Amino acid sequence: MEFSRTKINDVIIIIPKVFGDNRGYFLETFREDDFIQQGIGPKFVQDNHSGSQQSVLRGLHYQIKQAQGKLIRVLAGEIYDVVVDIRKSSRTFGQWIGVSLTSESKQQLWVPPGFAHGFFVMSEWAEIAYKATDYYAPQYERTILWNDLDLNISWPLIPGQDPIISAKDEKGITFRNAEYYL
């Protein structure tokens, strides 16, 4: 695997080595020793899988306690994945990055604890799997508005279609009023 740092150094794109022949392909999606060497961890404790139709926008989610690091990959389709640094002590506090993840590229994205996370489905259907470093704890879950003016995220929305957003995400708060990590 190749580990590529993004403009927010702690957020990493993982590019697999794919071995293919006339039967199909094989790749490693996780190898603990390589991940530890890159500073990715601690151990993963939960796996999640979600499916969404085109134009679904989920996020921006985080847990203020039991912060989750997430290793994200797309099993089918394409998403635009966004992470926002909400670590108050970080030099990249308040900055965001967006990455296109597809089932064809097989790339993964490491989102460390201390970031809000969301994604927009660009294909007709997308399935996303992700490993988490801590357990889901709804009592600590928070949501920042996906269209917060201060963050000014450039979502690749589909012309003529409004994003499909859950009632919970519509009630998100502004970045200025969010709870941050220290």
Q: Is 130 a catalytic residue?
A: yes
pLDDT digits (tens, 9 = 90+) for 36-91: 999 897 799 999 999 999 999 999 999 999 999 999 999 999 999 999 999 999 99
Residue 147, pLDDT > 90, answer: yes
Q: What is the pLDDT of residue 48?
A: 97
**Mean pLDDT, rounded, for 97-108:** 98
Residue 3, pLDDT > 90, answer: yes
Residue 33 belongs to a domain: no
81 touches 72 (CB < 8 A): yes
Q: What is the pLDDT of residue 117?
A: 98
Q: Is 135 a catalytic residue?
A: no
Residue 26 belongs to a domain: no
121 touches 79 (CB < 8 A): yes
Residue 153 belongs to a domain: yes
Nearest partner of 16 among 139, 102, 118, 133, judged by Cα: 102
| Encoded tokens for 30 | 């996780």
Q: What is the pLDDT of residue 41?
A: 74
β-bridge pairing 12-15 and 2-5: antiparallel
Residue 121, pLDDT > 80, answer: yes
Residue 17, pLDDT > 80, answer: yes
What is this structure's pTM? 0.94
Name the active-site residue from 62, 80, 130, 180.
130
b/e per residue, 143-182, with b = 16+ CB within 10 A? bbbbebeebebeeeeeeeeebebeeebeebeebeebebbe
Q: What is the pLDDT of residue 42?
A: 72
Domain that includes residue 127, residue range: 2-19+43-177
Confidence of residue 11 (pLDDT cuts 50, 70, 90): very high
Task: Select the more confidently predicted residue: 172 or 161.
Answer: 172
Residue 31 belongs to a domain: no
CATH of the domain at 132: 2.60.120.10
Q: What is the pLDDT of residue 182?
A: 86
Instruction: List Cα–Cα distances, 181 to 1, 115, 142, in angstroms.
Output: 30, 9, 12
Name the active-site residue from 61, 62, 80, 117.
61
Residue 34 belongs to a domain: no
For the chain, what is the domain count?
1
Residue 158, pLDDT > 80, answer: yes
